[in-house]
Structures are given as structure tokens and as C-alpha cells.
Structure 1
Amino acid sequence: MADIHLITPAPWSEYELIDSGDFQKLERFGEFILARPEPQAIWNRSLPDQNWQERAHAIFRRDRQSPERGDWQTTPTMRDPWFVSFRQSGLNLKFKLALTTFKHVGLFPEQADNWVYIHNAIQKLSAQVARPKVLNLFAYTGGASLAARQAGADVTHVDSVKPVISWARENMDHSELDNIRWMVEDAVKFVRREVRRGNQYNGIILDPPAYGRGPDGEKWVLEEHLSDLLKSCADLLDRNNFFFIINLYSLGFSSILLDNLMNQVFGSVPNPEWGELVVTDSFQKRLPLGVFYRFASV
């Protein structure tokens, strides 16, 4: 059994977690600093409130009528949208960021280590497979899809939200990539159809939300549907040359729960890694932002 890993992305010039605490985080994306909610940051801030107020170009304020939505208080110098680049380990990606009503900006920086993992796994697989096939489910704005495509894979990107697919297409164009296959589709339906067709993928990536809706109103509840989806993914994964990554952001899911589930579905796998995705602020407070499990044949 693999030990629990804490995965912290390598230093990235375009991103910095400046401070965290009091259920908030202060982050720099490129030239702009944002303050937004973070339910995991239960400790106290290291910087005084006035410093947060003075430094932030945009501060997210929750709508009193909604636990999810809100709006941004911005300074005159704040641009929306804006762009950041990611250049590490052979990757050269460019992302459009924007201030959304759900506090997100179109990028999850804690995923950076997974992008490098994907890129490296595909380069190794390419010695055995001419063009590795990769499936990215619940793929959002496409960070993992771009990493896989830049490594030379044939990529199928699946998300149920059409505007998010359009955003991912823009990121592909800005990263000077092409030929990603876009599917506005319910992930569960798509995977079941691919299993019936007998299709196989060398790499599968999942970022399922706690709750969600498909394009035709299909209901997704993580605790109810994840096990069956993983079983279908096991049928889709190539038996000889493969990698697999799953990330979960639900506060109720620990990495131990995920490890048990993966062992039940996949059994013994080569090179397993599992644990927490962590970003460390400038005061060395480690902020957990999700759990992951990944393995590869190479």
C-alpha cells in the first residue's frame, strides 16, 4: 500500500498563495491579487485585515441570498478577463482567467503537479503507443487536457456546461494547440457509451464535483454515482499502457476513503500515489484543497 502523499506544486512565478485564514485566501494570479472564500482555512490570517484590503485588486463578496453566488468588489486597475502562463517541465500553457459569480477564476493552481504528471506519463507512454488516447471527464477549462495535448496525446474533453467548453477552447487557442475533441455531454452517459462501443483509453482523468447537472438535467451526486463511474472507467482503461488520475474536492471525502474505493474497483495497480493536494502560503501554512489518487504503468 502506498503512503499518503501531500502534493504541493513546484514554485510557479504566475501564482502565489500569499496568506490564508478566517475562511479566506489571498492569492496572486499574474499581476493581480484576489481575496476569496476558502472553507478549509479555519485558522487565523497572518497578515492584518487592512493589508488584505490594501493589496487585493478584487474581493469576492457572497450574496446574502445564496450560499454559492456572489460578486466581486474590484479596484479600477483590475482587468477582467486576464491571462497567466504556466511554463514548467516541458509545458508551455496559457490560460484565460475571469471573475465568476461562483468565486472561481477558471483555474485550480493546486492541479499544476498533476499537469506535469500527465505530461511526463504521456511522453513515457509514447515509447509504446504512437498516439496515446486520453479522456478527461468533468474537464472544466481544460488544464489537464492542454497538458495531455501538448505531450502529443489524442485528447477527448468532456464537460456538461457549454460555456465552460468554449472557455477551454480559448485556452487551447491561447496555448497554440489544436485538435482536442470537445464533448458537451453528461460524463456518466458518455463513459457508458464508450464502454458499449469497446473503446479504450491510455489515460483517464476525472475531476467530479460533489453535485452537478448534465446538459439534459441528469443529476450527479458524488457519493451515489462515483463507484459505478469508476467501474466503467476501469473497463475503458487500456490494460497494458495507461495512467489514471482522480481528484475530489468534496469536504466529506478523505484520501483514505478514496484509497479504499480505488482498491475495490482497480485492485492492485502499479506506482500508486494518493493523498492531498496542498498549497502552502508565504507563512508556511499548508492549505488542503482536495484529495487525489493516481497510478501509471510507466
Structure 2
Amino acid sequence: MIQLLTPTYWKDYELIDCGDFEKLERFGNVILIRPEPQAVWSKALSNAEWQKLHHIKFKGRSATSGEWIKKNPAMPDRWHIEYKNPEASIKFRLALTSFKHLGIFPEQAVNWDYITQNIKKFKTPEPKVLNLFAYTGGASLIAQAAGADTTHVDSIKQVVTWANENQEISGLTNIRWVVEDALKFVKRELKRGKKYNGIILDPPAYGHGPNGEKWKLEDNINEMMGDVMQLLDPDEHFLILNTYSLGFSSVIIENLIKSAYPQVQNLETGELYLQATSGPKLPLGVFGKFFKY
């Protein structure tokens, strides 16, 4: 069955409204306007309400970069927020980057809840979890906070450094940080005979490894899934595959997983979205996930 899922425990995040290719969001006490290519419908709130509510707005110079316009120039460029579910809590350092991102994807909180729930149900003491394409580490942090032995892999050194900062402000330790091409790392772990109880993948549509390796989702994901399935502990495991690509549907994700792992149990697929307070649902990627224990 295809599911639609949205986060339920976010107190420090709120999607206030979205439409006309923009979104109005609250991160902690800071309200921002950012571009959103998926929001092709009209805003529910008036432009006057948007202008009154927001503190900072992103103004694009090109398709990939821009600048932040602050109502109050004294507002900081960095601040902290917290995520807490019934099993664990983590903190993030947010920052106004030139490419409109802040260092967090709020819709991923649905997957963080799935990670904590599964880790808590495992009989394995300190289960091993692998987070690939791990960005600033939300999934790594929540896995570690829930009691896992966590490995975090991303190809960009600055992003891994940012994730390490998030570990520190979350009061966590001992996440294993790896700056490497994800596919190369997986193949090396296979040669070593490694097994993981949990694997999380959130691959980009396009990307590059630290040594110029090229990643293109539709070209590489099938090979990646075939390799990753061999790393799963056969008796006790979970896996999450999340993609944000306009060309990928949850049916494609289902086919990928079943092709790479025919014996899959408890498979769920669907679409992640953020529920705006004003009414609209903002779609933000498709997922497939399963567990066994």
C-alpha cells in the first residue's frame, strides 16, 4: 500500500504556508521565505501576511545560488533547533547558506521516527547502523541517540564537519565519520564482510565523490541497492531508501527494493510531505522502507 507520511513531533519547525513557488517556514523562532519548485499552486495566505510574518527571505541570483535579505540586519546567520520524539532527542546548528539550504530537511523526521522505533525493538545490543549520503547527520544523530553504533558517510568534507558539530551540540559521541564516495565505501565494506542492522540512503539526483566520482541517480541506484542489500544482517534489520527526484515515483522505489531483495518483509512505500498550517500539503520525495526482527 502506498502511504502519505508527514512529521508529527516537530515543535521547532512549522510549514506555515506554501504556494507560488515559495514556502513560508518557521525554524525555532525564525521565519523564512524560500523558493520551492514543487509549490505550483496559489498561496493560501495573502502576500501581505507573508511580508508581515517573515524575518528573512532568500533572493536567488541564479538557479543554484542567491542571498538572504534580513528585515533586521542584526539577526544571526546561525542558530540551533531541537528535534525530539518519544525515544530520542537531537539538536541541529542551522545556517543561512548561499544555495538556500539551512542544513536540515524537516520532512526526514518521519524517517528518524522509524529509525528509533526499530532500534529500540532490536534484540541486538548496540545495533550497527550505516547512513549513506548522510548530509548534516539527522539520521546518524537519531540512530546514535537511540543506542546504535553509527557510521556516517558523505562525500563532502565540510558537510561531515557540520554533522560533527551537530553531534557535539546534541551531547552525543562516537559516530564514525567517513568522507568518501558512498558506492565505493559500500563495495569496500562488502569485501570486508561487514553487516549492518540498519541502512539509510538519501541519494541526490546528481552528485560527486571526493575524487571526482560521478553519481547519477537513475544510472547508479540499481547497482547501489544490489550491493547494500548484501550488507544487511539477515536476521534483524531495517532499511530506508528516500529520494527527492521529480522523475522517481514510489512504484519505482518498490520495484528497486523487490528486485534487489526478493525476500523483503514489511515493505512500505509512499510519499513524504509537509503539512502546511494554512492547509496545503507540500510533497518532498518518495520512500521505501522495511524491517525484520
The TM-score normalised by the length of structure 2 is: 0.97
Q: Indicate conservation of the 8 Å contact 1:85/1:92, yes or no.
A: yes
Which residue is 1:174 aligned to? 169
Which residue is 2:100 aligned to? 103
Structure 1 residue 147 displacement after superposition? 0.7
Structure 1 residue 11 displacement after superposition? 4.2
Task: Give per-residue Cα distances to partners, 1:250-288, cap 9 Å, x unaligned.
Answer: 111111111111111111312111100011101221110
Structure 1 residue 170 displacement after superposition? 0.6
Give the Cα–Cα distance (whole angstroms) in 2 for the partners of residues 105 and 239 of structure 1: 37
Q: Indicate conservation of the 8 Å contact 2:195/2:231, yes or no.
A: yes
Give the Cα–Cα distance (whole angstroms) in 1 for the partners of residues 48 and 75 of structure 2: 19
Which residue is 1:144 aligned to? 139
Are residues 1:218 and 2:218 paired? Answer: no
Q: Indicate conservation of the 8 Å contact 1:32/1:78, yes or no.
A: no
Q: Indicate conservation of the 8 Å contact 2:9/2:84, yes or no.
A: no
Could you tell me which amino acid in structure 1 is paired with residue 127 of structure 2? P
Counterpart selection for 1:67 from 63, 71, 79: 63
Which residue is 2:149 aligned to? 154
Counterpart selection for 2:237 from 242, 245, 260: 242
Note the residue ranges of structure 2 that are not aligned, 5 or more in a row.
none
Which residue is 2:181 aligned to? 186
Which residue is 1:233 aligned to? 228
SS in 1 for 2:108: helix
Give the Cα–Cα distance (whole angstroms) in 2 for the partners of residues 93 and 130 of structure 1: 21
SS in 2 for 1:189: helix
The TM-score normalised by the length of structure 1 is: 0.96
Structure 1 residue 36 displacement after superposition? 0.5
Counterpart selection for 1:90 from 84, 87, 90: 87
Give the root-mean-square deviation of aligned CA atoms.
Answer: 1.0
Could you tell me which amino acid in structure 2 is paired with residue 120 of structure 1? Q
Could you tell me which amino acid in structure 2 is paired with residue 178 of structure 1? T
Structure 1 residue 178 displacement after superposition? 0.2
Structure 1 residue 43 displacement after superposition? 0.5
Give the Cα–Cα distance (whole angstroms) in 2 for the partners of residues 261 and 112 of structure 1: 23
Q: Indicate conservation of the 8 Å contact 2:244/2:286, yes or no.
A: yes
Task: Give per-residue Cα distances to partners, 1:51-85, cap 9 Å, x unaligned.
Answer: 2122211111111xx31111111122532100101
Give the Cα–Cα distance (whole angstroms) in 2 for the partners of residues 19 and 131 of structure 1: 40
Could you tell me which amino acid in structure 1 is paired with residue 14 of structure 2? E
Task: Give per-residue Cα distances to partners, 1:20-63, cap 9 Å, x unaligned.
Answer: 00011000000000100111111000111122122211111111
Task: Give per-residue Cα distances to partners, 1:218-242, cap 9 Å, x unaligned.
Answer: 1000000000000000111111110
Task: Give per-residue Cα distances to partners, 1:171-213, cap 9 Å, x unaligned.
Answer: 0011100000000000010001111111111110001000001
Give the Cα–Cα distance (whole angstroms) in 1 for the partners of residues 11 and 133 of structure 2: 27
